[in-house]
Each structure stands twice: as C-alpha cells, then as structure tokens.
Amino acid sequence: MADAEPDEATLPTEAGLAESLTHCEDETMIPVLASRRASELPVNEVACLLQAELQYGLTHSEVSRRRAYHGWNEFEISEEEPLWRKYLSQFKDPLILLLLASAVISILMRQFDDAVSITVAIIIVVTVAFVQEYRSEKSLEELGKLVPPECHCVREGHLEHLLARELVPGDTVCLSVGERVPADLRLFEAADLSVDESSLTGETAPCSKSTAPQPAGANGHITSRSNIAFMGTLVRCGKAKGIVIGTGENSEFGEVFKMMQAEEAPKTPLQKSMDLLGKQLSLYSFGIIGVIMLVGWLQGKHLLDMFTIGVSLAVAAIPEGLPIVVTVTLALGVMRMVKKRAIVKKLPIVETLGCCNVICTDKTGTLTKNEMTVTRVFSADGLHAEVTGVGYNGVGEVLLDGEMVHSFSNSSISKIVEAGCICNDSLIRNNTLMGRPTEGALIALAMKMGLEGVQQEYIRREEHPFSSEQKWMAVRSVHRTQQDKLGVYYMKGAYEQVIQFCSSYNSKGLTLPLNGQQRELYQQQKSYMGTAGLRVLAFASGAELGALSFLGLVGMIDPPREGVKEAVGMLISSGVAVKMVTGDSQETAVSIASRLGLYTKGSQSLSGDEVDQMDLLQLSHLVSRIVVFYRASPRHKLKIVKALQHIGAVVAMTGDGVNDAVALKAADIGVAMGQTGTDVCKEAADMILVDDDFQTIMSAIEEGKGIYNNIKNFVRFQLSTSIAALTLISLATLMNFPNPLNAMQILWINIIMDGPPAQSLGWSLWTGT
C-alpha cells in the first residue's frame, strides 16, 4: 500500500514549501547529501537542504546552474593512456625484441641492408598490431554507450522522460516497476516498493523500501538505509518518488564503479580457446624452430643467419595476433548488428547466435504490431456490433444491424464500452496513446460512440491491476455525483478468468442468472472471434467481486508485422525452429501463428496449465512438436527454456516484463524488447531488439553465423600460412639445401599474407561488403 512520510511534511502546502525554501536558500552552494545523513533526516529537511520542491521539481534554469556545479550524472572514465605510449608498449613483445636484437647485430656486422629491412618490417608488424588493438578498444567502448539509461523526472511541474545523465541533486524522480534507479534517491513516496540491490550489495533477495527516517546511528551499512534507493539498483515491484541526493561519483554506486573499472572484462569462450590455440601453436613452433636452428648450426651454417631466420620464422609462424583479431571481429560484428537494430550486450553472444536453433517469441508487439483496434462487440444478451475505423482516434462507427450506436442508444453495447473506459489506465491525447494498446483500443471504441468522457466521470476507490499471470483487471469506482456510495466493480480480462467472477448476465439493463446455455453461447462467441485472429476481452460489472454480471465480449485485431512471415519462413528453412509463447487464447494464437506460416499441419499447441501439470522430463519429450504455447505466463517461459535445453537446443527467448527476466537469464540468448521492455528485463537479456521486431532476431542470427564462420576461416588461413613457412624452411634445412628464404623475405611474406587479410576481415564485417 502507498506509504508517504510524514503525511503533512512530505507533501507540503505551496505556502509552507515557499517558506521552508526561503529559510534555507543559499544561492551559491547546493550540497550533495551523503545517503547516510539523508536517511536519518525527515524528507522536508532533505528537500530544504537541497533547495528542492518535491512535487513541482526544479526549474530548468536551476537545473543548468546545478549542473555547472555538480557536472553530469555519470562517471569519469579514468585518464586514457596516450597513444604514443600504447604504440611503444607493442615493442615489449619478446619476439619483437628478439627481432630488434637481430637488427642491432646486423648493424654491428655492417650488414646495413638487412638491418634496414628488418627494422621496416618490425615497424609494419607493430603498426598492424597497434591498429588492430586500438580498433578493438574503441569498438568495445562504443558498446558501452549503446543503451543509455533513462528516467522519469518532474521539472517545473511536468513529468519528463530524460536521460539519467541529465539529473542533478534536488531533482524529483518517479520510479516504477522494472526501472533502474538513475541516482541515489531519498524516497518520499513509496507504494509496495521493493528493490533488487544485488549490483551494490550482492544480496539477491529484493529489499523492501519505505519513506520513514532512520534513527541516527542505526544505519551504518547501506543495506539498512531502507528509505534510500541507490543508483544502479532495480525496481522489482511497486512505485515510488524520491529526491536526488547524490549523482555520478557522489553516489554509493560511484565506489563500486571505481572497483569495476579495475576489473578486466571476462574473455569470451572463443577468445579463450584462441588464446589456448595460440599458446599451443607457439610451443610447437618454438620446438620446430629450435630443431631447425640446431640442425643448421650442426651443418656449419652461419650462427647469426640461423638466429635471424629462427626469429623471423617465429614472428611469421606464431599467431600472436589471433586473439586480437577475434576480439576485433566480434566487436565490429556487434557494431554492425547495432545498425540492424539489435544490441548485443556481451561478445560471447555473437558466437551463441551462430549456433542458435530454437527461438521462443512473444506474440504481441514482436510478431504482431501491437496496434489494437476493436472490430467486434458481442453483448451478453446476444447482440453483435461491427466497428469500423483504425487507430487510436474517434474516426469510425459502431454498427448494429447497419444502424449506428451512439452514446447510450443501446444499453447492452454501451455498458460494455463504459466498463472498458472505467476499468482503464490509458489515455488518448491528440491521437496519441499513453498506455497499453489493448486499453487504448477500448478508449478509441468509446470515442467512436461519444463516450470517452465517461473515464473522467468516475473516481477510483479500489484497484486490482492487470498482470500477465492473472490476466484480468478490476476497479471499484463511484460516479462523481454519488461519492457517498460504495461504488461498482468493473472488470475486464481473459474470458476464462472473467466468467469465473460472474453469477449473472446483463440483458437490456436487467440482471438475469447465468446458466449453462449462456456460458456455452459466450464460449462459442469467444472461440469464433479468436479463430478469426482477434484478441478477445470479456467485461463484467457488479456490486460484489464474486457475483458480477457478465456484460459481453470485445474482439480486437492486432495485425502481423510486415516481413515477419518471410523471416519465419527463412528461419525455418535454415533449421531454426520458431515457437510462439503468448498469453492470448488458443484460437487467437493458433490463428495468428497459421497466418505467419508458423503453425502448419501436424503442429501442436499447449496451454500454460498443461505446462504446469507436466514435469520437466515429460515436457522435454513433447516440446519439439509444440509450436504455440497459449495462455502462458512468464513463469512458463522458464520451464519451456529448460525443457528445450534438456533436449540439447540452443534457445533464444524474448521477453519484456519484469517476470520474464528469469527466463531470459536461463535462455542461451535472452532477447529483451527495446521499446516495451522494462529495465529489469533489458538487464537480464543478452540482446536487445531496438524496435521490438522479430525480423531483427533473424538478422542477428544471420550476422552471428557469418561472424563465426569468418573467424573460423581466418584461423584456418593463419594456420596454413604458418605451416607452409615452417615446412619450407624445415625441409630445406633437413635436406641441407641453401635456405630458400632469408629472414627479411620471411618477414615480408608474413606482412603481406597476414596483415591485409586481418584488416580486411574486420573491415568487410564493418561495412558489410
């Protein structure tokens, strides 16, 4: 339940606030409050110290002034090493040092030609390695900037959507489920707020937060500061408002960040195996080179010649640049995926994408456009109305037997539309929807009937919010003119859920008892609409939640996205199975899946309840044949992923809600929605689809396969050049022939054979040519 501290002090009257501000106004200094001190003080004192207005927020000019003083809400990346030093550090490689030594020896022996050639060769080898490493670093840096954190902040009385870096101390920030806390906040309103602080404390259990001040001295450790939301933590549940007390390095996360900077990013499995391969090859090459030098020396060849040949061979044969090439290739590939609107957060995922063979995808918004429009209304007393027009506007009509229904001209139809408006959290303003598309479609329906004002005529007294687990939403509301009354419950949701709360039905304003025949009729209508691919919502209202009166059904279309059908076709033909996991009913899900070419003859569907009843083994026997999982909720996704992994599949799973996070973590490739996805979900994911489009997954998989193959080919190429050089010199030496190549020739061949292919490989991946 909502919690605000202390009632009067937290939400001060404007006059009171103005007074407190004048008392503590100090034009020059806006302090940053340590979270410990802020947690001990009452909110109004914190606001006073920070010269902030809790509900109105800061003014834009004040924000600029504070930014000039405190800087941006971000972390300073540590001083970069100058380029010349990075370049010189390439010379520390022992092989390069050996080559340098042989150049010096050549000078001493007055073989100036050799000395010059070796030096030029060294410079080229070192420059190529330097350019590769520099590019790899830059691309990795770019990756970090791809998903800038955002936040909701109140400024000059308006809620604004900003980049988190724009926050300054004293800003008022609103938090909701799934969001990342953008700065250290002293909370002043909190409703059922619980926060995952594992990024800060390592504690995985979410920690519940309130607004009450902590007793002084009792909050030594940050985990005990229960009225502070720390930067970088994640809101698991509830809503809250807080005032920014610390930004950037002045936040508690600043300390952790400094530690993180010292940590190197872990290597990908491919990088690790390349490191190992490089080491093994070096060992063998050194062995062979040692033997060549020894034999050459025994044959009476010049020792310096054998030494320079040995060192040149080592430079040519040892693939010391291999791990770097792999990193550059992966990083540049990832940047290329960004252009295709897929953000891959971790390099290893590029490899995993290359071997992915099952994609489990949401329906709404990923396969379909998530642009809902009501096309049919069926009332509990058996009337069918058709609805025309598309989009979130009032253009279109509701037609009953060819006649227009307007306002309350037909009570059965109007009651459904009225319930859809009252039990609704969304708004349409200037033809723009603010809220959920399913609810927007209901408001657009009301606009077509001239009933959109109904939403404002009621005051909400109680609310049961919608969740994908529950699949229904209900409110208890009273008309503004009857505020003394208890009010009426209005419910909307999946038919199977809503009907369970009903004991009667509405027939032209009368409430009649619900019998088996009626239920059967509604069930038939629901299936009929679903089979046509419509999303079906049922409506009910009444004085008691357990004994509501059924009002009717509404069917809305959500057209498939363009290009998805082709993408599905291509994936299936390249051996990647595509499965739909949706909260919608079987009829709707199967109909859309058939339209997209997913569900064909022999395909099967399974409900969330059936998934619940099976154990993992039973599900894994069946899972390869199932194409559609209907009436499924986030918790089923985890079981589906596990069952698929049990049979050896490499699974990509999409998700957007807070509860999807576990399944995304468990999947080999967790895919979050960039637009509709919550921060929690993006956090857990390995890849983010910028435009929520299914086709992007296909592009990413294609890209991953391409990158993987390129790396494999490059390794083969490198090996073959090394083996060729080693074999040639070994055979010549063993057979006591004069050396076919001298040191410089070996080095030059190496430069020509390895340098350009490595560069162009990265370049072709970058440009896509």
Q: Which residues bind ligand ATP (CB under 6 A)?
A: 362-365, 436, 438-439, 466, 468, 471-473, 492-494, 535, 537, 582-584
Q: Answer whether 475's CB lies under 8 Å from 423's CB.
A: yes
What interhelical angle do 694-734 and 269-298 show, nearest 10? 10
For the bound state, the minimum distance from the C-beta of residue 495 to ligand ATP, rounded and expressed in Å, comes to 7
- In the complex with ligand ATP, which residue's Cβ is closer, 70 or 363? 363
For the bound state, the minimum distance from the C-beta of residue 377 to ligand ATP, rounded and expressed in Å, comes to 15
Distance CA 653, CA 639 (A): 12
Of 183, 204, 144, nearest to 66 by C-alpha is 183
Q: Answer whether 591's CB lies under 8 Å from 536's CB.
A: no
Distance CA 500, CA 553 (A): 15
For the bound state, the minimum distance from the C-beta of residue 473 to ligand ATP, rounded and expressed in Å, comes to 4
- In the complex with ligand ATP, which residue's Cβ is closer, 36 or 561? 561
For the bound state, the minimum distance from the C-beta of residue 630 to ligand ATP, rounded and expressed in Å, comes to 9
- In the complex with ligand ATP, which residue's Cβ is closer, 476 or 535? 535
**363-375 as b/e, with b when 16 or more CB fall inside 10 Å?**
bbbbbbbbbbbbb
Q: Which residue has the tokens 């970069």?
A: 80
- Percent helix / strand / coil, the chain, rounded to 5: 50, 20, 30
- In the complex with ligand ATP, which residue's Cβ is closer, 363 or 682? 363
* Residue showing the smallest CB distance to ligand ATP in the complex: 583
Distance CA 670, CA 691 (A): 16
Region of 208 (left: φ > 0; alpha: ψ -120 to 50; beta: rest) is beta
Distance CA 599, CA 583 (A): 17
Distance CA 451, CA 431 (A): 16
- In the complex with ligand ATP, which residue's Cβ is closer, 307 or 694? 694
Q: Answer whether 83's CB lies under 8 Å from 303's CB.
A: no
**DSSP code for 368:** B
- In the complex with ligand ATP, which residue's Cβ is closer, 542 or 583? 583
Tokens of residue 665, six digits: 């973590």
Distance CA 471, CA 481 (A): 31
For the bound state, the minimum distance from the C-beta of residue 363 to ligand ATP, rounded and expressed in Å, comes to 3
- In the complex with ligand ATP, which residue's Cβ is closer, 416 or 707? 416
For the bound state, the minimum distance from the C-beta of residue 641 to ligand ATP, rounded and expressed in Å, comes to 14
Q: Which position among 184, 362, 558, 584 bears the catalytic label?
A: 362
Q: Is 362 a catalytic residue?
A: yes
Of 635, 544, 742, 665, nearest to 113 by C-alpha is 742
- In the complex with ligand ATP, which residue's Cβ is closer, 497 or 710? 497
The CB-side HSE value for 267 (13 A sphere, CA atoms) comes to 12
The two beta strands, 577-581 and 358-361, are parallel
For the bound state, the minimum distance from the C-beta of residue 493 to ligand ATP, rounded and expressed in Å, comes to 4
For the bound state, the minimum distance from the C-beta of residue 361 to ligand ATP, rounded and expressed in Å, comes to 8
Tokens of residue 291, six digits: 């033997």
Scanning 340-389, the segments in alpha helix (DSSP H) are 348-355
Q: Answer whether 23's CB lies under 8 Å from 202's CB.
A: no
Residues recognised as catalytic: 362
